[in-house]
Amino acid sequence: MPKQRVQSERGEERFKAIGPAEFFFRNIELTGFDNYTRAIFQTVKEMLDNSLDATETHGILPRITIVIERLNEAKASKEEEEKKEIKGSKDGIYRITVDDNGIGVPQDKIPYAFGRMLYSSKYVERQTRGTYGLGVKAAVLYAQKTTGEPATVISSPIKDKMTYRFKVSTNISTNEPDVKERGSWTKSGDWHGTRVSVIIEGNWRRARSKVVEYVRRTAIVAPYADITLITPDGTLIRYPRRTKEMPKPPKEVKPHPLGIDIETMKRIAQLTTAKTLLQMLTTEFQAVGAKTAKAILSMAGLEPDLEPKKLTEEQIKALVNAMKEYGTTKRYKAPSKEALSPIGEKLIKIGLKSMLNPEFVTAVSRRPSSYSGHPFVVEVGIAYGGEIPPSDAPVLLRYANKTPLLYNERNDVSWKVVSELNWKNYEVSFPAPLVVLVHVASTKVPFKDVSKDTIADVPEIEAEIRLALQEAARRLKRFIIKKRKEEELAEKVITFLKYVPEIARSLKVLSVDPETRKPTVSEEEIEEKLKKLIAKKLGVPEDKLPEVVIGIE
């Protein structure tokens, strides 16, 4: 728990522990809510991500509606704005509501899911969009800080006969939910899902472009979702479902030995039902059998029949160090890929085609790999030509666990790889109509900070991105070369064909029979024979000649 220095009356320093809610309330910018513009964006992002996890992770085709309403215009004086802890200027107070058709939240979990910091269903070895237990709770905390309004949550779990309504905020001192109102009623239909509303201060005029782009980029990698956005000015933006095919949902798996730290080991030792260390290692971890467990315990100098709950601090440290040391001398099995849910090449291509309308599109999904015991998959998509406008550099669409990353692009490992690639080697000269999509899926994405804007330069991830990008770029190169050859061929065809009528007329004259003074062959027949000669010479099927000409014209 963070500690705060406090000056006593006698000049001595005293230390006071503060809870997570108070820490993030005082340092709300660490969660991404560092200005009024970013606040609206971050709220929409966190709530949309929650809704997608509540649907697709459980095999439900998402249907999500986002409504942003301006409740009143901002009229604060300049002096009042200068006193605000939040940077920038606001232009109003907004109610942001996100409605989904997910699995819903059980009645007894609703207050904690929205009112207790670092409380989450996502602290498991499984790919999810959020992992820190902040997310929507940070939005609730920001609402308390700026408007003092609690969040309104309406939810009905699948197979539950009731719908529940709560108004909840966070007790800053205790990090416990503060329930202002609660109610319930019998469902009249079969609706299931969650509707969340928060009221915050923000600046929609500046946030609009980022919010709209975030929803658009989400729709690109989730073509199986039906997403509607209604803005404060009444604009309705809808991305209808384009396929019913969904990625395979991730499964919860046991932790891998290489991904364990001391605190995680402490928690496992206290929660395990195993009676001995040997049993704990073989039942609580993946890739650890009896033989491996005995070797690890021998390296740690621990007896196999020790009781896990009675381990000392030093014994836990020795066990963690031995697990990592074993991984350097021997080789564990790779982390299970069952915990991952990549988008898939087919869905990436559907998304890029439907949203960008390119001339060429391809996608590469690499085989699962791992870093520090955490499994990950890298996927790359390339869209080229068509309705994509030319730009001086590739347009980069970054994703982590299917979540778009819009801020601090140039600090991301994806930008590093994309910008370092020599695109001329792949027949691409800028300005060019080129979009590159990079997706990293992992049980633990190595973000650079808690705002989750950029992915760190982990060597294993960087190498996989480079390999996937090179493969996709090679496919693009083959397309560009083929297209160029087709264009050159079409130009040759046109050059030959434009002389065909004139040559046919001349040959018709030369074919005149001296006795009858009539041509022995018609002009049409001569043209057909000339076309056959041209087709044979250029290696083009005769019936394809008109298509080639139309294509170039």
Quick: pLDDT tens for 310-349: 999 999 999 999 988 888 877 788 787 888 999 999 999 9
Q: Which has more pLDDT, 323 or 1?
A: 323
pLDDT at 155 over 90: yes
Q: What 3 state SS string does 322-386 have?
A: HHHHHHHHCCCCCCCHHHCCCCCHHHHHHHHHHHHCCCEEEEEECCCEEECCEEEEEEEEEEECC
Least confident of 118-122, 426-430, 441-445, 530-534: 118-122
Model confidence at 391: pLDDT above 50: yes
Q: Which tens digit of pLDDT belongs to each residue from 421-438?
A: 999 999 999 999 999 999
Alpha helix stretches (DSSP H) within 390-454: 413-420
- Cβ atoms of 552 and 494 within 8 Å: the answer is yes
Task: Assess whether the previous peptide bond of 431 is cis (omega < 30° from 0).
Answer: yes
Closest CA to 361 of 341, 398, 388: 388
220 phi/psi in degrees, rounded to 5: -60, -45
Please tell me whether 135 is known to bind a ligand: yes
Q: Rounded distance, CA 477 to CA 310, Å?
A: 62
User: Is 134 part of any known ligand binding site?
Assistant: yes
Cα–Cα distance between 119 and 21 in angstroms, integer?
11
Establish whether 244 is an annotated binding residue: no
Q: What is the reported pLDDT for 246?
A: 94
Is 513 among the annotated ligand-binding positions? no
Residue 167 CA to residue 176 CA, distance in Å, equals 14
Residue 393 has a pLDDT of 95
Task: Please name the residue ranges forming H helices in 105-195.
Answer: 110-115, 136-146
Query: Residues 8-21: what's their mean pLDDT?
Result: 63
CB 87 within 8 A of CB 249: no
Bridge partners, 202 (sequence order): 92
pTM above 0.85, yes or no: no
Does 122 show up as a binding residue in the annotation? Answer: yes
* Residue 154 reports pLDDT greater than 50: yes
Query: What type of residue sits at position 496?
Result: F
User: Is 175 marked within a binding site?
Assistant: no
- Rounded distance, CA 292 to CA 289, Å? 5
Identical fold for domains 18-71+90-237 and 255-327, yes or no, is no
The per-residue pLDDT for 232 is 96
Say which range, 11-15, 179-183, 203-207, 519-523, has the weakest mean pLDDT. 11-15
| Architecture, CATH, for domain 255-327 | Orthogonal Bundle (1.10)
130 labelled binding-site residue: yes
Residue 552: per-residue pLDDT = 44
Residue 212 assigned ligand-binding role: no
* Residue 254 banded pLDDT, cuts 50, 70, 90: confident
- The CATH number of the domain covering residues in 18-71+90-237: 3.30.565.10
Residue 16 is labelled as binding a ligand = no
- The percentage of residues in the chain with a pLDDT greater than 70, rounded to a whole number, is 86
Q: For residues 192 and 156, is the Cβ–Cβ distance under 8 A?
A: yes
Inform me whether the pLDDT recorded for 80 exceeds 70.
no
Mean pLDDT score, 117-123: 55
Domain segments of the chain as ranges: 18-71+90-237, 255-327, 343-470, 479-549
Lateral strand order in the sheet of 151-156 = 176-186, 162-171, 151-156, 193-202, 92-100, 63-73, 226-230, 236-239
Contact (Cβ atoms closer than 8 angstroms) between residue 400 and residue 303: no
Q: Is 137 annotated as a binding residue?
A: yes
131 is in an annotated binding site: yes
Tell whether residue 301 is among the known ligand binding residues.
no
CA distance 74 to 49: 28
Q: Which residue has the higher pLDDT, 520 or 152?
A: 152
Residues 6+ apart with CB under 8 A from 167: 150, 151, 152, 153, 179, 180, 181, 182
Assign domain 343-470 to a CATH class: alpha beta
